[in-house]
């Protein structure tokens, strides 16, 4: 039996990519915001229906840079979720800010908006929620709280490419959003990422920060790093963007098959589609909550059959060794996140996952 990985990167046809990069052999212009970079940026602004897209080498540096660009005072507190990839928490701490962990809700696993206000102090500067698994946060409630307390909102939208609510793309919520174009995401540029935002004043700053702060050969405006997307990565993005809608459609078909097989089973909890939301079917999380086998047993059993699921997200970022000394890093303060992280598995999901493979996975789980 062949192995099934939790994900499989989307790729264009080999010939399509070769055709796309052909002109780079004429121009010898390989990076530094060239033709492909400009084209991908414009195409994403259109696809995501948003005013500004700034491209990055990866999603993590995109998040670090947008936090830096908003210029928070050192030691400021940022309300965030521990139910995420370490990148979210690292980006806050690496900017000299303090993560304050808010619990998640029990339905879609995004930030529990009823728990945000009690965490706000005079030091709070921002909220960084995550559209986890592509499930949108309660953006209206978060916006209302942020407005009332004069806080910035940056969404970690790494999972939310192509997601929209009532026709508004996820790229347009909060002060800014970060997308990851890592190989494992719904849309990839191999490695890559972006910040989306509407404030014209951020354009120059973000461009400066990803290119050493260089304005021109004799003017260095900021102490920036290097996080530029190369022409080869941008070319991969141009190709993959042509097929992403079709890929999302295929993911949906696989999800529907999973739901057909696994819904209504006592002790197995699935996420359902959110009202008014067009989903991207980025992940298929399953919570084993009183099922005849626990999460770890299912994980091990799948592994014996060559099926690689993922304990995602486990452990919580407030329960990992590098944050041990942080006063706010306590799982007791985020009981729902802790509960879910102990019981969740994301099952294999990618565009070309066949109905037979989904059935094989479900057969192993169910018997
Ligand atoms: C993938 C991911 C990131 C980081 O993106 P990279 O492109 O891998 O740097 C950040 N946050 C979340 C939730 C992610 O899933």
Band (214; pLDDT cuts 50, 70, 90): very high
Is the CATH number of domain 14-238 3.40.50.720?
no
The set of residues, in sequence order, having a beta carbon less than 8 Å from that of 279 and lying 6+ positions away, is 134, 163, 252, 273
Q: Is 156 in the pocket of ligand 1 (CB under 6 A)?
A: yes
Residue appearing with tokens 């928490």: 89
Q: Of 1-15, 179-193, 243-257, which gets the smallest average pLDDT?
A: 1-15
Can you tell me the mean pLDDT for 175-183? Answer: 98
The percent of residues above 70 in pLDDT, for the chain, comes to: 100
| pLDDT over 80 at 13, yes or no | yes
Predicted pLDDT of residue 324: 86
Mean pLDDT, the chain, integer = 96
Task: State in Å: Cα 82 to ligand 1 middle.
Answer: 14
pLDDT for 181 equals 98
Q: Is the CB of 174 under 6 A from ligand 1?
A: no
pLDDT digits (tens, 9 = 90+) for 322-351: 998 887 778 999 999 999 999 999 999 999
Nearest CA to ligand 1 atom 14: 158
Per-residue pLDDT of 97-128, as tens digits, reads 999 999 999 999 999 999 999 999 999 999 99
250-307 residue pLDDT tens: 999 999 999 999 999 999 999 999 999 999 999 999 999 999 999 999 999 999 999 9
Is the model's pLDDT at 161 over the cut of 90? yes
Q: What is the pLDDT averaged over residues 66-71?
A: 97
Whether the pLDDT of residue 74 is over 80: the answer is: yes
- Evaluate if residue 158 carries a pLDDT over 70: yes
Pocket-testing residue among 55, 86, 87, ligand 1, by greatest number of atoms within 8 A of Cβ: 87
Checking if the pLDDT of 1 tops 70, the result is no
pTM of the model: 0.97
Atom of ligand 1 nearest to the CA of 182: 7
At residue 258, what are phi and psi to the nearest 5 degrees? -55, -50
Query: H helices within the chain, ranges in order?
Result: 14-21, 24-27, 35-47, 59-69, 86-93, 139-149, 201-209, 231-262, 295-304, 335-341, 355-366
Average pLDDT over residues 138-156: 98
Instruction: Give me the pLDDT at residue 328, please.
Output: 76
182 lines ligand 1 (CB under 6 A): yes
Is 40 within 8 Å of 238 (Cβ atoms)?
A: yes
Q: Is the CB of 88 under 6 A from ligand 1?
A: yes
- What is the third-level CATH fold of 244-366? 3.90.1150
**How many CB atoms are closer than 10 A to CB 114?**
12
Query: Separation of 264 CA from ligand 1 center, angstroms?
Result: 32
Give the Å distance between the CA of 212 and the centre of ligand 1. Answer: 22
Q: What is the mean pLDDT of residues 69-83?
A: 97
Alpha carbon of 172 to ligand 1 centroid (Å):
18
Q: Minimal CA–CA distance to 109: which of 315, 332, 287? A: 287
Whether the CB of 58 sits within 6 Å of ligand 1: yes
Q: Where exactly are the structural domains of the chain?
A: 14-238, 244-366
Indicate whether residue 159 lines ligand 1 (CB < 6 A). Answer: yes
Residue 30's CB is within 10 A of a number of other CB atoms, namely 12
What is the pLDDT confidence band of residue 217, given thresholds at 50, 70 and 90? confident
Residue 2 has pLDDT above 90, yes or no: no
Rounded distance from Cα 70 to ligand 1 centre (Å): 20
């Amino acid at each position: 039996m062949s192995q099934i990985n939790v994900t499989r990167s989307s790729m264009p046809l080999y010939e399509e990519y070769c055709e796309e990069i052909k002109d780079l052999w004429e121009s010898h212009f390989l990076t530094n915001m060239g033709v492909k970079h400009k084209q991908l940026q414009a195409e994403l602004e259109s696809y995501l229906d948003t005013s500004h897209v700034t491209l990055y080498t990866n999603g993590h540096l995109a998040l670090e840079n947008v936090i830096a660009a908003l210029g928070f005072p050192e030691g400021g507190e940022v309300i965030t979720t521990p139910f995420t990839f370490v990148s979210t928490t690292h980006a806050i701490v690496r900017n000299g800010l303090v993560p304050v962990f808010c619990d998640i809700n029990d339905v879609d696993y995004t930030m529990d908006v009823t728990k945000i206000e009690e965490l706000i102090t005079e030091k709070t500067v921002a909220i960084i929620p995550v559209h986890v698994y592509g499930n949108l946060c309660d953006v209206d409630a978060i916006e209302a709280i942020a407005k009332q307390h004069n806080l910035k909102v940056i969404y970690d939208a790494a999972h939310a490419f192509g997601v929209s609510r009532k026709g508004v793309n996820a790229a347009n919520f909060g002060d800014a959003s970060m997308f990851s174009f890592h190989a494992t995401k719904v849309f990839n540029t191999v490695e890559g990422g972006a910040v989306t935002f509407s404030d014209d004043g951020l354009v120059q700053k973000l461009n400066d920060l990803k290119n050493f702060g260089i304005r021109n050969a004799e003017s260095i405006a900021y102490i920036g790093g290097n996080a530029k997307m190369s022409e080869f990565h941008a070319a991969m993005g141009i190709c993959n963007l042509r097929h992403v809608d079709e890929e999302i459609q295929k993911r949906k078909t696989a999800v529907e098959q999973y739901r057909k097989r696994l819904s209504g089973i006592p002790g197995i909890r699935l996420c359902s589609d959110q009202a008014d939301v067009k989903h991207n079917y980025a992940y298929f999380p399953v919570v084993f909550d009183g099922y005849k086998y626990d999460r770890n047993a299912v994980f091990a059993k799948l592994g014996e059959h060559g099926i690689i699921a993922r304990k995602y997200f486990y452990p919580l970022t407030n329960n990992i060794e590098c944050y041990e000394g942080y006063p706010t890093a306590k799982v007791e303060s985020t009981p729902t996140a802790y509960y879910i992280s102990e019981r969740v598995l994301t099952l294999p999901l990618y565009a070309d996952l066949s109905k037979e493979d989904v059935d094989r996975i479900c057969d192993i789980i169910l018997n």
